[in-house]
Every structure is written in C-alpha cells, then in structure tokens.
Structure 1
Amino acid sequence: MFRTTDIVLIAVMVSAAAFTYTTKHAAEAELSKVRQLEAAIRFEEETTVVLKADWSLLTQPSRLQKLAEIYHSQLQLAPVEAHQIGDFSELPARPLRIEDITDGAMGGMADSGIDTTTTGGVIQ
C-alpha cells in the first residue's frame, strides 16, 4: 500500500511543516520584541520633548527674575561687579610673540631695506 518513498516524503512534509511553524513562531516573538522596543523609544522621545519644554519654561529670564526678587532676602543675590572678577595686576604677563624674537635676531634688517614680511627675514 505505502511505499518507502511515500513514507519518506510524508516525513519530510511533516518536518518541513514543523520547521515552518517554529520559524514563524520565533519571527513573531522577535517582532513582538521589536514593537515593544519601538514603543519604549517613542515613549522616551515624547518624555524628552516634554522635559525640554519644561526646561524652557523653567529657565525663562522673566521667571528667574521674579524668583530672584521674591527670594532676595534669603539668597542675597547681587550683580557681579567688575572689581570682583579681577584686576590688571592679576593678569599674566603678555606672551612672547615671534616678531619680538625675530626683530632682535635680525639685527636691524628692517632698517636695511629688506622686506621682512614677504621674505620672512631671509637675506637673499
């Protein structure tokens, strides 16, 4: 009645159906994970937009000015004065420039008629 080839073909069809079912099931599980991740990403993006809008509202200069006036006695805020930042005596010495070095090393080449700007101080 059944030949050996029929039995082998039936076994191949059953195994192919089982493989197809497991592959489909695994793909659906991965698709579910992808959709969950996309939903989480969308939620985070919306949260970020809301937080940026909130930050924008909280840092408005007019709002901060009102808060500074309300809590002036507690915070004792005052504008920064120029003398609080620094003094000229606290500034570092002026750095040495290449022109300062080359003018001394050329020994008065600028007076000799050589254009030190275009030749770079090289005597031709």
Structure 2
Amino acid sequence: MADKIYGIGRNIIVKKNEEQEAAKKEFIDCFKLLEEHLGDRTCFAGDKLGFVDIALVPFYTWFKAFETFGKFSIESEFPKLIAWTKRCLQKESVSKSLPDQHKVYEFAVDMRKKLGVE
C-alpha cells in the first residue's frame, strides 16, 4: 500500500490537469479505505504502533504538498487519519524521525520546477 500511495502522491505533485485529478481521486479512494480500516482504533493494530502505522506515518510529511497541489484538504476528507497522525506524532520516536512538512513542500516545489510543471 505504501508503494501505491507514493506513486499516487507523486502524481498529485508532478502531473497536471486530468492526470492530476485522476491521481487525486485515487489518493482519496486509498485514504478512504485506510480510514475505514483504522475505524475508531488508536492505531491500525489496536492500541500500539504496528507495522502499518510505521509504514504510513511518514506520508504525513507530504500532506502539505498533496493538499496544495491537489487542491483539497486531507483533514476535512479524513479526520480520523489526521487524529491518528497527531497521536503518532506525540511519540518522540516518530516526531523526531520525520522531516518538517514545510521542507518537504519546498522540495516538492523545486521538483515541479525542475520537471517543468510550474
């Protein structure tokens, strides 16, 4: 699933028009499935971080880029996943290991310029 999200997210950032809209729709469909699976649990495996949590939480750092270039709000679309992300970030081992969202966004802006998307 992480590979799929990476590819879809990349397309939200580097594609335009119909291709970008298709990637956004696919992203939303994937995250709806993830939110359904998470349900009301604290983490995907229950009360403690598990493999799925560890594989997915790094995508949080890309959310600003996905939202900006895809023109949608992850928080309004997926409130349970945002709450899950905030719980994960309360763990020092998670918060200290993830890059800053703004630096990742700046990287995405540079990537778009280099690819001629801007």
Q: TM-score under structure 2 normalisation?
A: 0.23
**Higher relative contact order structure (alpha carbons within 8 Å, sequence separation ≥ 6):** 2
Q: Please identify the structure whose Cα radius of gyration is greater.
A: 1
TM-score, with structure 1 as normaliser? 0.22
